């Protein structure tokens, strides 16, 4: 919304309480079409796709003494 109102990246970062570099990277990473601009819904979807997953393996072996 602030991008459409032509606010600067620094103004957006100040409003969100984040570093300007963080906002800049987010916009660059999730802007697919320069004409349409940044889409928060698409950004959330893409972030969920690329999110790192924790290991699914348990730390203790199920048949071990400590388990």
Are 48 and 33 spatial neighbours (Cβ–Cβ below 8 Å)? no
Structure confidence at residue 2 (pLDDT): 57
Residue 5's pLDDT band (boundaries 50, 70, 90)? low
Asked whether residue 3 carries a pLDDT value surpassing 60, the answer given is no
The residue behind tokens 């048949």 is: 63
Residue 55, judged by CB atoms within 10 A of its CB (0-12, 13-18, 19+), counts as: exposed
pLDDT tens by residue, 26-60: 888 888 787 888 888 888 898 888 887 776 777 77
- Annotated domain spans of the chain: 9-52
Q: What is the average per-residue pLDDT within 13-22?
A: 95
Least confident of 13-17, 22-26, 56-60: 56-60
């Amino acid at each position: 919304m602030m991008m459409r109102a032509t606010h600067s990246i620094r103004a957006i970062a100040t409003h969100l309480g984040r570093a300007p570099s963080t906002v800049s990277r987010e916009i660059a990473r999730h802007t697919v079409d320069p004409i349409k601009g940044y889409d928060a819904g698409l950004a959330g979807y893409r972030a969920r796709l690329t999110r790192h997953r924790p290991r699914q393996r348990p730390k203790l072996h199920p048949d071990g003494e400590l388990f």
